[in-house]
Amino acid sequence: MNKPIRTMSIFCMLLFAALLLNTTYLQYVDAGSLNSRGDNKRVRDAEFSRKRGAIVAGGSSVAESVQSDDAYKYQRVYKQPRKYAPLTGYYSYIYGRSAVESSQNEILSGSDPRLFVNRVVDMLGNSQPKGGSVTLTVDPKAQTAAYDGLRALGRNVEGSVVALDPSTGKVLALVTSPTYDPNRLASHSFSDVQKAWNELTADKNRPLLDRGIQEVYPPGSTFKLVTAAAALSSGQYTPDTKVKGGASLDLPQTSTDLVNENGSNCGGDPITLTQALEVSCNVSFGDIGLRLGDDALRAQAEKFGFDQTYLNDLPGQVKSRFPESPDEPQTALSAIGQFDVAATPLQMAMVAAGIANNGTVMRPYVVDEVQAPDLSSLEKTSPEALRSNAVSSSVARDLTQMMVEVVDNGTGTTARIPGIKVAGKTGTAQSSPDRPPYAWFVSFAPADNPKVAVAVLVADAGVARDAISGSGLAAPIAKNVMEAVIGK
């Protein structure tokens, strides 16, 4: 063989080897990432031609695929779309997926490795692969109560409701408002989908935003539960400890006083820690924050889950936060949930749930079980403790009794349920001068055997400033959700 032919042969062999290596890499190493890319039209066409699995809540599907007579054979349909949108998310040819449609896509589309045998059987039977189903943890009655409660305040009210099972972390309800109809984004008419997307993304009320997990707000007086937990855990306070009351607290390093809502004096000076929580006394908790210091408050907040993400089933969760290095006046304001303290409704539900669960904060989860197309179980979620020592069991008992006093005799009487002890805390948080305050309520019930913990946020109900309060706007919704879960 002469030299030119030998050189050409070696070159061709190298090209062939490179082709084999590249093919092997694409088929066995990079296939997963390529298949999961949202702009992979071949994969999207294949997925849209399959029967995608159902998303189930309370034994009934809230999202399923039905046969269609167009090129894609199946149409994704969302039942009760606006109510379940923050959980199901959307499934769109153009704009991809969100929420459970995204996090459980491999199961729903049938591409999960655990469905390999099913795919082989389908291939041998010359039929399209089918997707598995996903069962949510949601209690439909609680979800309906939460949804109806926010809707009663107005179609475009800004708010969210999150309910948890304190002993397991199951998300029993997750509602956000304003919401949207995911059917519009699942349409096979791409011009209609484009129009719907443009409307939703241009809407100043941001209906695609899940306000339960993707936005933080000043928690206001509901954060006093964290301050009270830090105080009791320090060993320096009991529920009967006398704390500063009165009408104002001199903020150090400033010429400003911290005052109470409506200029009240909290019933005296001094007052007990229980009374301070019962009437939500800013002066008391501002002073306690100064005495404990920001490190103790931050540590307690982090034990409840602040500065972490912990919800794996829904993408986009943002961290709740306690400020890094507040000075003394900022620490006093932080102790009452103002300054730069910010929390999601999910986070404040976890504070209530941790107290309800004797100090153990469970990791929240939305997916209860995933099943193969033949309904055999592939995986069932096991409850997991996020923090087992957020507070001691004795501190949890003290906080529970103090929260019961809030509902029985204090600012949370609108959450009372006849025959049931309810533990709760109201909050009204200042935001900025150009927008109304936020109304909060966090609670759990029954207080002596908790089945449900709830956080309700109403960020803007379009009512007059003097009509905004946690007791007036948020607590009645929490009450309805608790009643739905405990069957009252």
Specify the DSSP element, H or E, that contains 453.
strand 452-460
The Cα 421–Cα 444 span in angstroms is: 9
1, pLDDT greater than 70: no
Q: Are 5 and 11 in contact (CB under 8 A)?
A: no
pLDDT at 486: 94
Look over the chain and give the mean of its residue pLDDT values, rounded to a whole number. Answer: 91
Q: Among this protein's residues, is 221 annotated catalytic?
A: yes
3-state SS, one letter per residue, for 2-23 = CHHHHHHHHHHHHHHHHHHHHH
Model pLDDT for residues 92-119, shown as the tens digit of each residue: 999 999 999 999 999 999 888 887 777 6
Run of H or E including 393: helix 393-409
Strand ranges for 59-157 from DSSP E: 60-67, 74-78, 91-92, 96-97, 133-136
Q: Please pick, among 102, 160, 187, 221, the residue that the annotation labels catalytic.
A: 221
* Helix or strand holding residue 102 (H, E): helix 99-103
* % of residues, the chain, pLDDT over 90: 75
DSSP readout, 12-52? HHHHHHHHHHHHHIIIIISHHHHHH-TT-HHHHHHHHTSBP
Residue 313: which of 94, 137, 59 has the closest Cα?
137
Distance CA 57, CA 80 (A): 11
Cβ distance 192 to 181 under 8 Å?
no
**What residues have CB less than 8 Å from 387, skipping those under 6 apart?**
303, 304, 305, 354, 360, 361
Give the pTM.
0.89
| Neighbour order of strands in the sheet with 438-445 | 171-177, 158-164, 452-460, 438-445, 423-429
Q: Report which of 174, 171, 176 is spatially closest to residue 209, judged by C-alpha positions.
A: 176
pLDDT at 46 over 90: no
Instruction: Count Cβ neighbours within 10 Å for each residue of 65-103 and write b for 16 or more, e otherwise.
Output: beeeeeebebbbbbebbbbbbbbbbbbbbebbbbbbbbb
Helix (H) or strand (E) holding 142: helix 140-151
pLDDT (tens digit per residue) in 110-164: 888 887 777 666 666 666 778 999 999 999 999 999 999 999 998 889 999 999 9
pLDDT at 35: 65
- Residue 76 pLDDT more than 70? yes
Residue 125: what pLDDT?
66
- Looking at residue 134, what is its pLDDT? 97
Q: Which two tokens stand for residue 132?
A: 């598995």
What pLDDT, on a 0 to 100 scale, did the predictor assign at position 449? 96
CA distance 347 to 309: 10
Residue 72: the pLDDT is 83
Q: What is the pLDDT of residues 405-460, one digit of tens each?
A: 999 999 999 999 999 999 999 998 876 667 778 999 999 999 999 999 999 999 87
Q: Is it the case that residue 71 has pLDDT exceeding 70? A: yes
Is residue 391 a contact partner of residue 304, using CB atoms and an 8 Å limit?
no
Around Cβ 141, how many Cβ atoms within 10 Å?
A: 17
Q: Kindly state the DSSP code that residue 466 receives in the 8-state scheme.
A: G
Give the pLDDT confidence of 200-234 residue by residue, as tens digits.
999 999 999 999 999 999 999 999 999 999 999 99
The pairing of strands 55-57 and 133-136 is: parallel
Q: How confident is the model at residue 25 (pLDDT cuts 50, 70, 90)?
A: confident
Give me the pLDDT at residue 89, please.
98
Long-range contacts, 62-66 (Cβ 8 Å, 24+) = 62/87, 62/88, 62/136, 63/88, 63/91, 63/101, 63/182, 65/131
Asked whether the bond before 270 is cis by omega within 30 degrees of 0, the reply is yes
Find the angle CA(74)-CA(144)-CA(197) to the nearest 5 degrees: 45
Which tens digit of pLDDT belongs to each residue from 253-271?
898 899 998 888 999 999 9
Which 3 state secondary structure label does DSSP give 410?
Answer: coil
> Mind listing the pLDDT tens digit for each residue in 306-338?
999 999 999 999 999 999 999 999 999 999 999
Kindly state the average pLDDT of the residues 9-38.
75
pLDDT attached to residue 126: 64
